[in-house]
């Protein structure tokens, strides 16, 4: 069973080779770091003061994660889940996949794991971009490296939190992408839900909307609590939503009338 | 023993649209079974049901003597298939495509070269499958189906997109697989001429109903030659021929008598002329297999 799942994950991962989804990881992960990197190169006279600041990494993290948590990460999830699933629709390969000796839950889980792996890969690329944005501009202009030590543990914990915050979005988008052959439907629904979540972010019950968690967590990490009282931690709610939507997605996938 | 046996298979996509009606498909083990019917007859729907791609509504499906519902994994391990248009990943090369299925089916990596060689795609190198011609895509799809050396091969219109040479190669390949490896092959087509020199058994379907099923020789037996007679007064001619002791029947406003020796034909002609009936035509029937097929599916223009 485990070996079948591992083999299935391996094939799903190989399918992403050279696909748009793998390029999206790089493009999305390096977009914000590239902008900040370029901004720093344009104002080299500010570098010395920036690098001397004791909260250098905190500020850089906050600057970079603002766009990432609120916009880039949701956009990435909406696009990448659709792309991973669309590989089968576009190539007319669902029927080949469903006539292979692989249990349906295994195929479902393997694709989901690949999406999560791509999400983790995005965070790795983004964090690498963050580190290079902090260090390289100074090196290029002969400015001493940032004085403050890199808060590895804090960054790692926050990354794990964002990964968990993003899980409900992954589950909902995966369900939609599996259910609808038309690429525009999960994409449109995802964008609509994301815009709705952003519009409702300051509502006292915005935590009921699973697309708000990354933004809520970002604001909380920077000291702004958009919701005064949460019924549970964001990560607990995100995990619950993820399990709920994953189960719903699996049931819908397994009970489809047509499998290719 | 049947490799595939369906009983009372009925399917509808909507309550008013019954696409299959009580289909009992019986594909003997070791046979090459031609599943024939015009476009839209229900061939692909039947094959999709047999492969579990459509949810079964009525009837039962047994493959290798096992119910499909309860033994899906075990059955699919021994089945290779290519349904409708080619199923290949366009952004990957032929080898990369096969590599995916080699991992899934746990077959030796050397099989990739073997099947590439077998379908004539060994030279494609780093070319992505999306850049292949339709014929090449079809070959790759068949290579995928053959990769794990299946006991049962289900191919839906496999010659689509192939040139005449490719069709001949495909036929030779399927015959070789059947003879050398004992592979049971179920191949669908809407053209009898394409598969008549390939199959050992046939099933003919029209509008979701099986019209014929059995050894191909049985279908070929229907190819009884007849003589067609057309006259100025076929009713009187019918009576005259009948009175003379010949078997005669009417079809499409012409008279048909079983293939007879030349003296009998001459006698019939003389008989008609003597009775003042003008004879317009006495000709052997072109009752070839294609016509039998067209007659069965009710598409004969003659």
Q: Retrieve residue A102's tokens.
A: 């692989």
Report how far apart, in Å, the C-alpha atoms of A128 and of each of A29, A91, B181 are: 9, 34, 55
- What pLDDT is attached to residue B287? 53
- What pLDDT is attached to residue B300? 47
Measured CA to CA, the distance from residue A32 to residue A175 in angstroms comes to 28
Q: Looking at the partner chain, which of A10, A96, A258 has a beta carbon nearest the beta carbon of B54?
A: A258
Q: Looking at the partner chain, which of A93, A95, A98 has a beta carbon nearest the beta carbon of B89?
A: A93
Radius of gyration of chain B measured on its C-alpha atoms: 24
CB contacts, 8 Å: B85 with chain A: 92
Radius of gyration of chain A measured on its C-alpha atoms: 20
- What pLDDT is attached to residue B302? 33
For chains A and B, count residue pairs whose Cβ atoms are closer than 8 Å: 79
Strands (DSSP E) found in chain A? none
Q: Retrieve residue B153's tokens.
A: 């091969």
Q: Quick one: what percent of chain A has pLDDT higher than 90?
A: 79
A166-193 pLDDT, tens digit per residue, is: 999 999 999 999 999 999 999 999 999 9
DSSP 8-state code for residue B108: -
Do residues A30 and A125 lie in contact, with contact meaning Cβ atoms separated by under 8 Å?
yes
Q: Edge-to-edge strand order for the sheet containing B79-82?
A: B79-82, B152-156, B184-189, B32-36, B201-206, B209-215
Say whether B90 and A91 touch across the interface (CB within 8 A). yes
Residue given tokens 């061939």 in the structure block: B43
Residue B66 C-alpha, separation from nearest chain A C-alpha, in angstroms? 15
Q: pLDDT band for position A196 (50/70/90)? A: very high
Q: Retrieve residue B223's tokens.
A: 């190819």
Residue given tokens 């629904």 in the structure block: A189
Do residues B155 and B50 lie in contact, with contact meaning Cβ atoms separated by under 8 Å?
no
Q: Retrieve residue B65's tokens.
A: 């003597």
Do residues B223 and B291 lie in contact, with contact meaning Cβ atoms separated by under 8 Å?
no
- What pLDDT is attached to residue A210? 93
- What pLDDT is attached to residue A26? 94
Residue given tokens 């004539």 in the structure block: B120
What parts of chain B have a pLDDT lower than 50?
A: 300-302
- φ and ψ at residue B36, rounded to 5 degrees: -110, 150
A49-75 pLDDT, tens digit per residue, is: 888 899 999 999 999 999 999 999 999
Nearest residue in chain A measured CA to CA from B154: A99
CB atoms within 10 A of CB A147: 10
Do residues B199 and B34 lie in contact, with contact meaning Cβ atoms separated by under 8 Å?
yes
CB contacts, 8 Å: A90 with chain B: 90
Residue A61: helix, strand or coil by DSSP? helix
Do residues A47 and A138 lie in contact, with contact meaning Cβ atoms separated by under 8 Å?
yes
Measured CA to CA, the distance from residue B211 to residue B297 in angstroms comes to 8
Residue A118: helix, strand or coil by DSSP? helix
Q: Looking at the partner chain, which of A19, A100, A259 has a beta carbon nearest the beta carbon of B104?
A: A100
- What pLDDT is attached to residue B301? 40
A83-102 pLDDT, tens digit per residue, is: 999 999 999 999 999 999 99
Residue B223 C-alpha, separation from nearest chain A C-alpha, in angstroms? 38
- What pLDDT is attached to residue A33? 95
User: What own/partner pairs with CB < 8 Å and gap ≥ 24 does A178-184 have?
Assistant: A178/A85, A178/A108, A178/A249, A178/A252, A178/A253, A179/A249, A179/A252, A179/A253, A181/A89, A183/A82, A183/A86, A183/A89
- What pLDDT is attached to residue B286? 58
- What pLDDT is attached to residue B131? 95
Report how far apart, in Å, the C-alpha atoms of B170 and of each of B149, B188, B194 are: 16, 13, 11
A146-168 pLDDT, tens digit per residue, is: 889 999 899 999 999 999 999 99
Average pLDDT of chain A to the nearest whole number: 93
Measured CA to CA, the distance from residue A133 to residue A139 in angstroms comes to 11
Strand (E) or helix (H) holding B1: none
Measured CA to CA, the distance from residue A45 to residue A64 in angstroms comes to 21
Question: Hey, CA dihedral for A183, A187, A190, A193, is it positive or negative?
Answer: negative
Q: How far is CA B95 from the centre of its chain?
A: 30
Do residues B18 and B10 lie in contact, with contact meaning Cβ atoms separated by under 8 Å?
yes
pTM recorded for the entire structure: 0.86
Question: Hey, CA dihedral for A250, A256, A259, B2, is it positive or negative?
Answer: positive
Q: Does the CB of A9 have a partner CB in chain B at under 8 Å?
A: no
CB proximity under 8 Å: B 164-193 to A: none
């Amino acid at each position: 069973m485990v070996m079948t799942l591992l083999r299935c994950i391996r094939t799903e991962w190989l399918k992403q080779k050279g696909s748009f989804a793998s390029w999206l990881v790089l493009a999305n992960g390096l977009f914000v770091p590239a902008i900040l990197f370029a901004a720093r190169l344009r104002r080299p006279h500010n570098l010395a003061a920036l690098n001397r600041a004791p909260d250098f990494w905190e500020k850089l993290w906050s600057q970079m994660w603002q766009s990432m948590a609120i916009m880039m990460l949701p956009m990435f999830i909406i696009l990448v889940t659709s792309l991973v699933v669309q590989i089968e629709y576009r190539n007319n390969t669902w029927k080949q996949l469903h006539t292979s000796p692989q249990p349906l839950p295994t195929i479902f889980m393997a694709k989901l794991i690949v999406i999560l792996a791509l999400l983790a890969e995005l965070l790795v690329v983004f964090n690498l971009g963050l580190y290079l944005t902090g260090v390289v501009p100074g090196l290029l202009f002969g400015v001493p490296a940032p004085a403050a030590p890199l808060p590895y543990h804090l960054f790692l914990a926050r990354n794990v939190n964002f990964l968990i915050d993003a899980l409900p979005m992954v589950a909902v988008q995966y369900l939609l992408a599996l259910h609808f052959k038309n690429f525009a439907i999960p994409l449109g629904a995802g964008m609509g839900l994301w815009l709705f979540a952003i519009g409702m972010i300051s509502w006292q019950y915005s935590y009921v909307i699973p697309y708000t968690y990354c933004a809520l967590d970002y604001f909380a990490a920077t000291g702004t609590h958009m919701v005064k009282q949460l019924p549970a931690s964001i990560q607990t709610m995100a995990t619950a939503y993820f399990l709920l939507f994953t189960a719903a997605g699996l049931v819908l996938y397994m009970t489809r009338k047509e499998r290719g | 023993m049947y490799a595939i046996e369906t009983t009372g298979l009925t399917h509808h996509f909507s309550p008013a649209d019954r696409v299959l009606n009580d289909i009992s498909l019986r594909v003997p083990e070791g046979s090459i079974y031609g599943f024939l019917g015009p476009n839209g007859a229900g061939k692909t729907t039947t094959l999709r049901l047999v492969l579990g791609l459509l949810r079964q509504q009525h009837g039962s499906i047994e493959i290798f003597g096992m119910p499909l519902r309860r033994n899906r994994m075990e059955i699919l391990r021994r089945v290779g298939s290519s349904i409708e248009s080619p199923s290949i990943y366009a952004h990957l090369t032929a080898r990369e495509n096969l590599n995916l299925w080699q991992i899934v089916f746990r077959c030796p990596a050397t099989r990739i070269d073997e099947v590439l060689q077998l379908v004539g795609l060994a030279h494609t190198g780093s070319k992505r499958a999306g850049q292949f011609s339709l014929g090449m895509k079809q070959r790759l799809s068949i290579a995928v189906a053959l990769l794990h050396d299946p006991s049962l091969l289900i191919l839906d219109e496999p010659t689509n997109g192939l040139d005449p040479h490719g069709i001949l190669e495909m036929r030779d390949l399927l015959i070789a697989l059947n003879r050398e490896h004992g592979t049971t092959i179920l191949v669908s087509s809407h053209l009898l001429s394409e598969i008549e020199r390939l199959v050992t058994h046939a099933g003919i379907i029209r509008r979701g109903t099986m019209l014929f099923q059995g050894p191909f020789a049985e279908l070929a037996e229907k190819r009884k030659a007849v003589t067609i007679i057309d006259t100025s007064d076929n009713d009187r001619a019918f009576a005259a021929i009948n009175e003379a002791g010949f078997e005669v029947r009417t079809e499409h406003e012409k008279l048909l008598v079983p293939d007879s020796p030349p003296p009998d034909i001459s006698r019939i002609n003389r008989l008609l002329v003597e009775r003042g009936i003008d004879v317009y035509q006495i000709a052997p029937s072109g009752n070839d297999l294609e016509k039998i097929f067209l007659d069965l599916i009710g598409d004969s223009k003659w």
